[in-house]
Homo-oligomer: A and B are copies of this chain.
Amino acid sequence: MSEQRATQVLGYLHTLQDNLCRTFGDEMGGSFLRDAWQRPAGEGKLQGGGITACQEGGATMERAGVALSDVRGSQLPPSATARNPHLAGREFRAMGVSVVMHPRNPHAPTSHMNVRFFSAGDVWWFGGGFDLTPYVPYEKDIVAWHRAARDACAAVSTAAYPIARQHCDEYFFLKHRGEARGVGGIFYDDVNEQSPGMPLSWEQGFALMQRVGNAFHDAYKAVMDRRRDTPFTDRERRYQLYRRGRYVEFNLVFDRGTLFGLQSGGRTEAILVSMPPEAHWSYRSPDPQMDSKLLPYLTTLRGRDWLT
């Protein structure tokens, strides 16, 4: 039964990876290189395999990664399940797709999506979500993004969206800057039949994974179709490169998945496929005027419910 479920999930993850690579690669003037890898069992490290798809220097995407992995380990790390610490140390299997896309055009936002499925013996749980990081903000994009998130959740559980939206706002926050990473979305973890607030059966959890993956595909494609050909200035480009420094800071200082991967001996290049192709730092913001348009979304408007 457990094997059969894992096979179902894995099938969906491959389909999702293929769809994302086709839509944001071939159809947008770029192409993803697929790097398939296998790691044999041994020395307590994770064993398993995956396909890291990476696009660099595309017409639309300056850098994008769509990484699928399916790994097994003999000892579940404590960081993998906050709600079930008694599972730490058990044999486990983890599979998922992680996506970060850095478009070239500063009017087009960076996006991130992850869906994952864990099992340890007879215990299983799902996690996932997506969030958006604009440089030049458009309220139309933000509202559409949250609507897609809400609709993906609502098909499975009406409780899920408000919980996952708040979790996303809390998680994607740069404490040292006092700024959100972006305009949010949804983020959930440790979801199964016992989840407080959003208990889901396995079938519902798997349905949510598919809704979330597909909603990300459609919602981000819609944003990209609106913004990828917008003419932009050197000034907007410089500002984007500066703001991308914040993305680096979040991923390297705060992101638990990145830190866990780097510290546990994961595949560095696959983990850091989330890094932007180019990022700038300066002592002061290079453009207070562009700050004045963006920063309200990351500070005072942070956590706003865009759908009411």
Determine the main DSSP class of A at the interface with B.
mixed
Interface residues on A, range: 35 or more
Tell whether A281 is near chain B: CB-to-CB under 8 Å: yes
A283 touches B54 (CB 8 A): yes
A177 touches B282 (CB 8 A): no
Tell whether A277 is near chain B: CB-to-CB under 8 Å: yes
Tell whether A73 is near chain B: CB-to-CB under 8 Å: no
Tell whether A262 is near chain B: CB-to-CB under 8 Å: yes
Q: Mark A57-95, 1 if CB is under 8 A from B, else 0.
A: 000000101000000000000000000000000000000
Q: List CB contacts (< 8 Å) of A230-273 with chain B.
A: 241, 245, 248-249, 252-253, 259, 262-263, 265, 268-269, 271-273
Nearest B-chain residue to A280, judged by Cβ: B278
Q: How far apart are A43's CB and chain B's nearest CB, in angstroms? A: 15
**Which B residues are in CB contact (< 8 Å) with A277?**
280-282
Contact of A263 among B176, B263, B278 (CB under 8 A): B176
**Which B residues are in CB contact (< 8 Å) with A268?**
176-177
B177 touches A63 (CB 8 A): no
CA distance in complex: A56, B263 (Å): 33
**Which B residues are in CB contact (< 8 Å) with A281?**
63, 272, 275-278
Tell whether A140 is near chain B: CB-to-CB under 8 Å: no
CA distance in complex: A269, B175 (Å): 13
**Which B residues are in CB contact (< 8 Å) with A278?**
241, 278-281
Nearest B-chain residue to A53, judged by Cβ: B283
**Which B residues are in CB contact (< 8 Å) with A271?**
176
B263 touches A175 (CB 8 A): yes
Nearest B-chain residue to A285, judged by Cβ: B269
Q: Mark A171-190, 1 if CB is under 8 A from B, else 0.
A: 00001110000000000000
Given A176-B268, A276-B281, A277-B280, A253–B259 Cβ distance below 8 Å? yes
A275 touches B176 (CB 8 A): no
For the complex of A and B, 9 pairs with smallest distance between CB atoms:
A252-B252, A275-B281, A176-B262, A54-B283, A176-B268, A278-B280, A252-B253, A269-B283, A279-B279
Q: Could you list 16 A-B pairs, sorted by A, with CB under 8 Å? A: A56-B283, A65-B283, A175-B262, A176-B262, A176-B263, A176-B271, A248-B252, A248-B279, A249-B252, A249-B272, A253-B253, A253-B259, A275-B281, A277-B281, A278-B278, A278-B279
